Structure 1
Amino acid sequence: MLSRSNFVRAFVASLVLITLPAFAQAPGAESTAPAAPSPSASPGQQPADPSAPAAQSETPADGATPSEATASDEAAMGDEALAESAAPPPGFTGIYGRLTDEANGEGLIEATVKVVTGADKQAFTDLDGNYRLALPPGKYDLRAFYDVYQGRRITGVVVAQGKATKLDVALSADVGAVQEVVVEARSDRRAEGALLQDRKKAAAVSDAISAQEIARTPDSSAGDAVKRVVSATVVDGRYVLLRGLGGRYATTLLNGALLPSPEPDEPSVPLDLFPTSLLANLNVVKSYTPDLPGTFGGGTLLIETNTYPSQFEFKPRLTLGGDTVTTFRNRNSQAQGGFGETLGFASSDRALPDALPRDHRLGAGGESAQQLEGQWESFTNVWEKRTTRAAPNLGLGASLGDTLRFGNQRLGYLATVNYGHRDGVQTGDFARAARDESGSLISQDVARTTQGFSTANLSGLASLGYQFDRDNELTLFSLYTRGTDTRTYSANGNNNVRGDTYASTRLQFITRALSFTQLRGFHRLGLLGDSEVDWQANVSRVDRDEPDTRDTLYSAALNNPDAQLSFPNQPNSGERFFAELGETSTGGSLNLTLPFSSDLRVKVGGLTQVSFRDFNARRFRYLLNDEPVDRTLSPEQLFSAENVGTSISVRETTRADDAYNAFLGIYAGYVSADYKPVEPLRLVGGVRLEASAQQLTLKDPFTGVEADSGGADRNYLDVLPSLNATYALSPEVNLRAGYSYTLARPTFRELAPFIFFDFVRRRNVSGNPDLLETRIHNVDLRAEWFVGENDVLAASAFYKRFQNPIERVIRNPDSGDLGFENAAGADSYGVELEARTSLARFSPSLRPVRVGANLTLIQSQVDLGDSALGAQTNKDRPLQGQSPYVINVNVGYERPESGTEVAVLYNVYGQRISEVGVQGLPDVYERPFHRVDISLTQKLGATQLKLTAANLLNASVTLRQGDVTVQTYKPGVAFTASLGWAL
């Protein structure tokens, strides 16, 4: 078996050997591939398509200068010149192609192709200049024209039944025209080529994945898709790490606005809230610019959602799926539920009973014994897991959109709705590492855990845009997404500390919801050199509800094999937990761009974003009274009405820190300049002044009165400079360098002293109100070569210096309880390599095959200083959560003629510290996960069939602490079949 270092070396060598000869065929270099014939090819040249019909050129009807264009001339342009034409679906009968500017080859937007003889029909080109005319078999004369361009007439174009005739036309400018026409359009940011063009022109180092690329993968959410981006990894299928850094170091923006997280225990936005069908692209900005929020560590993830299409479309979808460990097998489940929960709405019987007091602790209001018993019995008596046959996964979706034109004005709309339901099983082993009397590392509390879960996701998106003219546009965007997570845990194992064997169960139901509304505007002022203003205002709300989580634990003496499991009078057994989290955010931003000259553009702007969070939890525990009862009874028998009030009582155990209010206000202004001192060099630099106020105040869980002490207040005023330089060695090659000074704030959850019990790992997690803000120096270098429209070769290097980084540490080695602490500092540095190309560079016969690969190598070192972190075992270790390497490889095959596309993808990340060990215990590492996926897409007229398989190697998720396997389970091999229609 290859060692990690040898494996990485072999991968790099293979990458260089594969891509370097291909990229040597760059524009301007000599090539052995046949050159595409010129549009003005001599009559003796053979057309690329020998079957293309001959045609004669005629003078256009409007008297414009004649153009010598024939159908055979267009066919003779060859496949190289026509690569950007949009291919029609199989079986299409008619004419298609692309209209371009003869001088620069760029597509002409909303140009007209009209049938002048043989039919009465016309078509407009799209954003890339592509057009399509469905026509019956016959011979046609066509005319292509565009404002201030010379029209062209093409005669004798033959259309055969079931065949698509390709006709590309290049129009030349009409030198006699005196009218100046400014043609503007936004690129289709769902396309791979468009994103690469944006990346080439961007001021900062960035990487992205488009909707076009996501469609080739089995990924169903943004959490699945983002791991395809260079140096991005994902934890728990939903939380992104950028360059090995997650949580507070990875900010997420939705259409340019900050997103709050609905999770109280994770600082990241859970990306599984966003189905891939909602996404236009995912863009990771890796070098900082002043117009971004100052919270910047590993990078900023920009989520851009779909906007309205240029023409009418209605696209319904149906998806079915399953996996090898779940589908049609028995899984843990709960008795509660109903149709509402399948849509993401909790059943009313999970709510805190109406009989329970809201303004005081249970039993603290002078209630009589009879009243108390009635309150205790008002809880639903459901404690035990059930068994259900897992059904196949289901997905339904539809999108509807169009652009309506009123002269020079446009109204566009898009509406989408998606629903998904998934069953799952996760069976694995758990253990806790400890030291024996001799100091050797041993396994304790070995257990077998089984988790059955059912998730439902419901989401909708609506976008409405109105373009008054080329200078003014408004867009209203609204998103609602809701997810439920029903989980039923069971565990059987030993507790070596207490000397018993146990069986435990947890019934849990969680809902998460996000609503987001944004109004955006763009205006060209016509002043100060055609300056531009863009702005946005947003309001969002996230909610997380955890109603009635129930824990039971039965135990027996470990050294008595005949002892029956019985209910113990101890914590974490017979407990109910209710929690609600809500956070409202609102704010906006304004940016003014002043083009003082062609070489200098100045941008100024500001942002205000405020967030208000409220968290409330209540806890209840069932206790044994002096009245004797058979403790071996099942929990639903033990806690029945006949025992509650006699043998069993219910006590409220809500803590004083089980409720808090939190506020975060961010107020920022910035100025930046985009300057070209000489033609190849571009400098983008500026400074951001960002003030923040972060407050967390404990409150009474019953009255809501805030406490006079407890909690945390943080106020900062940060100056954040940055400079990015780009030197263009050629139009296709950029050299980039950047420096910035940024920050990372502790999250509300990390500051809150609230204690959360992790049932799976059976330990407490608590916050730290003394945490400090982290400051970060960032240095980035990159060389990138854009060889073709969808081809790139890039190499990057980065360095980061952290001051007071925040880490998750083990506070108590005996129980494994977790907390958060500031280290004195840390260093992180790494390199990134990326290549994408078509194998047509090797041979024209390999044109359908595309390959891509990226490799990230990262090293980091934590400086513990003289702080309390000295209790940590390992004084020489990387940052918690940072992988030493990340690798992505993909191979794709596409045959437009048959509508077939196949993709094979591979992803792996290196082992990373999940938890920092203390007091002699080693760090807990998450082992590498090798994932291989395959996707097959087949177009069948207006229908598209997509088949996928994920995790073909059936890899395991494994956490190890020294030689002890702390946790391991197999997620299984997953399969999906999706059918979509374009109507």
Structure 2
Amino acid sequence: MEDMGDEAMLAESAVPPPGFTGIHGRVTDEANGEGLIEATVKVVTGAQKQVLTDLDGFYRVALPPGKYDLRVFYDVYQGRRITGVIVNKGKATRLDVALGADEGAVQEVVVEARADRRAEGALLQERRKAAAVSDAISAQEIARTPDSSAGDAVKRVVSATVVDGRYVLLRGLGGRYSTTLLNGALLPSPEPDEPSVPLDIFPTNLLANLNVVKSYTPDLPGTFGGGTLLIETNSYPSEFEFKPRISLGGDSVTTFRERNSQRQGGFGEALGFPSSSRQLPNAIPRDSQLGASGESSEVLAQQYRSFPNIWQARRTTALPNMGLGVSVGDTLRFGNSRLGYLASANYGHRDGVQEGTFARASRDETDTLYAFESANNTQGFETASLSGLGSVGFQLDRDNELTWFGLYTRGTDTRTHTATANNLVRTERYESTRLQFVSRQLFFNQLRGFHRLGLLGDAELDWQANVSRVDRDEPDTRDTLYSSNFNVPGALPTFPNQPNSGERFFAELGETSTGGTVNLTLPLSAVKLKAGGLAQVSFRDFNARRFRYILGNTPVDRTLPPEQLFAPENLGTGITVRDSTRADDAYDAYLGVFSGYVSADTQPLEALRLVGGLRLESSHQVLTLKDPFTGAADTENRADYANLLPALNAIYALTPTVNLRAGYSYTLARPTFRELAPFIYFDFVRRRNVSGNPDLEQTRIHNVDARVEWFAGENEVLAASAFYKRFVNPIERVINNPEAQDLTYRNAAGADTYGLELEARASLGRLTESLRDVRVGANLTLIQSEVDLGDNVVGAQTNRRRPLQGQSPYVINLNVGYQRPGSGTEFTVLYNVYGPRISEVGVQRLPDVYERPFHRLDISVAQQLGSAQLKLTAANLLNSSVTLRQDSVVVQSYKPGVAFSASLGWSL
């Protein structure tokens, strides 16, 4: 491609604004009518200007009235020269150009004519040629939605649902059954209690696409159940671009209303950096329990007083949400070599309110289920996020390319809970408060290489090496609880001197992961052979400290609010601070995964393609409980596995645009560090403990897939899929203490899952030309699952037959979009709903807890304003509620509210 010059620009819209003077149109491939991305349209006579086409092949170039000659060209296509194009004042001259392939450049297509994977049409073409069953959403499609993060966007993919706005479930399966790869590399999770990577750490403007692989191939990691989510980030642009962006938003339950907040913090926390005042005070010993070294009462009192005396929730006015972003990139050319770069930075700040109810159920003497404890819960939260992306690529020649990619994301989450509850069994009323602050950060660095070796049939070698670090810090979470007898008129709430009241909790988690992959492809005459390997090791360290305020022998007024009750003058006299850190509050963990594979891609018949292979994957998992103070190792839990993972995919092309697919694989799912660790975590909202199980075993999974798909047009597809999965030893979250409803994890004997997926994307121009600018899309997933509990059911689960925990029986996505010619306006309506799914498995006659369907309706309107674009969105217009039910008892319910946002972005 020729150099662009200083006046080069990237076309932004298919339709020029009113009053536009110049030339506009579309550049397409004359063979199939598909738009050519970043083709060059150059004015060669009458002016000196040129532009690039956009993701759909559209362009526009502003010119004064006159007569012009143009040249249109694109890599590996024959260029065209168009002469005598007339431009009149105040009018847009339409010029569409179709280019034919340059037959002499066919061999260059492999390297030079790479598809822009940000475009919907390019992803569909890649899907048509893929070896496995897969679904994807492109940056082009994401831009039409109100979605602000990957966690929001991925739910638009067929059969994908999202829990808590962060964790993806694929085909109703999440956690250990859904692996996330970033640019081909495994990502660790910064959450101690969730095996999934939280997708809200990835802003949508960093994404090129989200691709979900649903049938297994041996070149993927062996942890595969619902599917593998491939996150691909933006790469450097072909020409210079500078894109600033600003957004404002809010919702109906938060913005400009009072919310719970904390007095602690500062300007740094608004940027995503925790305040030093939250950390464990320097006066508190690190190498021993508080008071274990024979300190005097005076020294102990000073240590007690070193903690900040902040316990109560404050009220503040919630401000609108804000987002800022900027990206800059370019490609520099040096003869046959290219050097490209992209840098992007994003900042976001959000206030929120969550007001609702929660309850705990039991059965009375008549075996009737009732809520023995019910509460009103109010949560105010403030989140801040900061992220940066950098990418540099150097293409030495058509056969060698190196790319460095770096990502840094961090964020803070400040949450203030207050609740008022009534316990009918104890005739007590509780008033509780939790002040919580969590910071997370992710460093990710990757170096990738591609080399065409020029031997063994023009073999190709690609590789990547990565190192990442995730950290999660939860400093000084504070819980208080006051109680009173509601049968006693005028009774004042008092400090009960019991666990989970007057407690401080500190926790730090860090995980370092490093490794790489290598793949060698041999394109032989009758078969394409591929072989490679993976090595990935992860090291996790977790430490927690717990402190509890206890009443002493000196009487104190237990009705005082906590900041008066725990005042410095009471500490060391009427109240002491006990170090209640448990022996299992610290652990180290190691996971090493090493694998090699070989696969063959052959075409025994013109219409039949077979892709099969075998992966050998071994894993070594060690979890070591250690002394929280000295770090000395205590109990060690080891799990070593070596697994053979066969896979076969068959693709039969009925026509060039219609595929029949079938596949089988045998994969695995490992228990996570958190699920193995006996560490206990207290769930404040539901007031129960969550603990791990060191005896968990890995899960093995048989996967069978079938699909028929018709790629009817450039951005059109019709598809129907069926799948079956057989789980051996699936891991589930279950209630292990009916009275307290504490949670743990257990292996069931087995489970079966059956599913059907239907998908359609089309333009209504197929019905009538007047509707050619209206596009519609719909997908439906129907799933049925059943758990085999086996003969020896530990924990006496209530239901012998039930669906797999976390499995939704249906998922529906609908969208309708309209792009109005002549105005640069785009309008999109989206709808999403998932069916009821088991959140927690009930035991000892208590029913399973189900999360009820959530109906979400969103609208997005985008308006082109010259080089800028204004986007207005509204989400959850139905104002649906998040509801968990345990038969007739509503366990938890709250409304997230209707959310609105406005963003303005420029492309300069």
Q: CA deviation at 1:868?
A: 3.4
Residues in 2 aligned to 1:620 and 1:464: alpha-carbon distance in whole angstroms: 48
Q: Tell me the equivalent position of 1:137.
A: 65
- Determine the C-alpha separation between the residues in 2 that align with 1:341 and 1:148: 52
Question: What is the Cα deviation at residue 171 of structure 1?
Answer: 5.0
Whether the 8 Å contact between 1:824 and 1:867 is mirrored in structure 2 is no
* TM-score, with length taken from structure 2: 0.96
1:751 maps to which of 657, 670, 676 = 676
- Cα deviation for residue 187 of structure 1 reads 1.0
Aligned to 1:189: 117
Q: Is the 8 A contact 2:15 2:823 kept in 1?
A: no
Residues in 2 aligned to 1:149 and 1:828: alpha-carbon distance in whole angstroms: 48
Q: Are positions 1:290 and 2:218 aligned together?
A: yes
Residue in 2 aligned with 1:518? 446
- 1:796 aligns to what? 721
Structure 2 counterpart of 1:405, from 318, 323, 333: 333
3-state DSSP of counterpart to 2:740: coil
Aligned ranges for residues 374-773 of structure 1 at < 5 Å? Answer: 374-597=302-525, 599-707=526-634, 710-773=635-698
Cα pair distance change 1:150/1:919, threshold 3 Å: closer
Q: 1:263 aligns with which of 187, 191, 199?
A: 191
Deviations 1:284-324 (A, max 9, x none): 10000000000000000111111111111111111111111
Query: Is the CA contact 1:91–1:941 (under 8 Å) kept in the aligned structure 2?
Result: no
Shift of 1:498: 3.5
Between 1:87-96 and 1:153-162, the stretch displaced more is: 87-96
Cα–Cα, structure 1 residues 455 and 178, in superposed 2: closer, same or farther, change >3 Å? closer
User: Secondary structure, in 3 states, of the residue corresponding to 1:869?
Assistant: coil
Does the CA contact (< 8 Å) of 1:429 and 1:967 recur in 2?
Answer: yes
SS of match in other structure, 2:480: strand
Closer, same or farther: CA 494–181 of 1 in aligned 2, 3 Å: closer
Structure 2 equivalent of residue 904 of structure 1: 829
State the SS of the aligned residue for 2:858.
strand
- Asked whether the 8 Å contact 2:13–2:824 carries over to 1, the reply is no
Q: CA 1:180/1:544 → structure 2, altered by over 3 Å: closer, same or farther?
A: closer
| Pair 1:937 & 2:862 matched | yes
1:564: how far off? 0.7
Tell me which residue corresponds to 1:198: 126
Q: Distance in 1 between matches of 2:242 and 2:631?
A: 49
Q: For residue 153 of structure 1, report the CA deviation from its aligned partner.
A: 3.8
- Residue pair 1:711, 1:753 contacting (<8 A) in 2 also: no
Match for residue 820 of structure 2? 895
**1:879 aligns to what?**
804
Q: Report the alpha carbon displacement of residue 117 of structure 1 after superposing the two structures with TM.
A: 3.3
Moved more, 555-564 or 129-138: 129-138
Distance 2:466 2:608 in 1: 36
Larger deviation: 144-153 or 189-198? 144-153
Tell me which structure has the larger Cα radius of gyration: 1
What do you get for the CA RMSD once the two structures are aligned?
A: 2.0
- For residues 417-450 of structure 1, the C-alpha deviation after alignment (integer angstroms, 9 at most, x for no partner) is 1111111111111111101111111111111111
Q: 1:408 to 1:127 in 2, by over 3 A?
A: farther
Q: Which moved more, 1:748-757 or 1:860-869?
A: 860-869
Amino acid at match of 2:891: V
Q: Are 2:168 and 1:240 aligned?
A: yes
Residue 840 of structure 1 pairs with residue 779 of structure 2: no
Compute the displacement of 1:962 (Å). Answer: 1.0
Q: Measured at CA, do residues 784 and 103 of structure 1 come closer, stay the same or move farther in structure 2, by a change above 3 Å?
A: closer
CA distance in 2 between counterparts of 1:139 and 1:614 reads 70
Q: Summarize deviations over 1:339-387 as a string: whole Å, max 9, x none.
A: 0000111111100000111111111112111111111100000000000
Do the aligned partners of 1:823 and 1:867 also contact (CA within 8 Å) in 2?
no
Select 2:784's aligned residue among 859, 877, 889.
859
Judge conservation of contact 1:620–1:651 (CA < 8 Å) in 2.
Answer: yes
Aligned equivalents of 1:640, 1:798: Cα separation in 2: 62
Give the letter for the 1:713 counterpart. Answer: R
Alpha-carbon separation, structure 1, partners of 2:400 and 2:422: 68
1:483 deviates by 1.3
Answer whether contact 2:75 2:113 (CA < 8 A) is retained: no
Kindly tell me: are residues 173 and 742 of structure 1, through their superposed partners in 2, closer, same or farther at Cα, counting changes over 3 Å? closer
Which whole-Å CA distance do the structure 1 matches of 2:186 and 2:102 have between them? Answer: 47
Q: 3-state SS of the aligned residue for 2:332?
A: strand
* CA distance, structure 1, for counterparts of residue 32 and residue 860 of structure 2: 36
Aligned-partner residue type, residue 829 of structure 2: V
Q: Secondary structure at the match of 1:871?
A: coil
Identify the residue that residue 809 of structure 1 maps to in structure 2: 734
Shift of 1:480: 0.6
Task: Provide, for residues 510-534 of structure 1, a one-character-per-residue CA deviation record: whole Å limited to 9, x for no partner.
Answer: 0111110101111111111111111
Q: What is the alpha-carbon distance in structure 1 between the residues aligned to residue 626 and residue 727 of structure 2?
A: 34
Give the structure-1-normalised TM-score: 0.89
How big is the shift at 1:124?
Answer: 6.4
1:898/1:757 CA distance change after superposition, 3 Å = same
Q: Give, as a single letter, the amino acid of the residue that structure 2 aligns with 1:834.
A: E
**8 Å CA contact retained: 1:750, 1:768:** yes
Q: Tell me, in whole angstroms, the C-alpha distance in 2 between the residues paired with 1:440 and 1:580.
A: 43
Q: For 2:152, which of 188, 208, 224 is the aligned residue?
A: 224
- Residue 908 of structure 2 is aligned to residue 974 of structure 1: no
Alpha-carbon distance change, 935 to 145 in structure 1, aligned in 2, over 3 angstroms: closer
Residues 132 and 974 (structure 1), Cα distance of their counterparts in 2 relative to 1, 3 Å cut: closer
Counterpart among 846, 865, 869 of residue 921 in structure 1: 846
User: What SS does the corresponding residue of 1:756 show, helix, strand or coil?
Assistant: strand
- Partner SS for 2:569: coil
User: Does the CA-based 8 Å contact 2:16-2:823 persist in structure 1?
Assistant: no
Find the aligned partners of 1:901 and 1:832 in 2 and give their Cα distance.
28
Q: Which residue identity is paired with 1:157?
A: V
Call closer, same or farther: CA 1:674–1:478 in 2, change over 3 Å. Answer: same
Matched letter for residue 84 of structure 2: G
Distance (Å, rounded) in 1 between the aligned partners of 2:137 and 2:267: 36
Shift of 1:963: 0.6
- Contact preservation (8 Å) 2:175, 2:195: yes
Q: Percent identity?
A: 77
CA offset at residue 184 of structure 1?
Answer: 2.1
Q: 3-state DSSP class of the match of 1:359?
A: coil
CA–CA distance in 1 between the matches of 2:513 and 2:231?
18
Aligned residues: 897
Q: Which runs of 5+ in 2 are unaligned?
A: 1-11
Work out whether residues 511 and 538 of structure 2, in 8 Å CA contact, stay in contact via their aligned partners in 1: yes
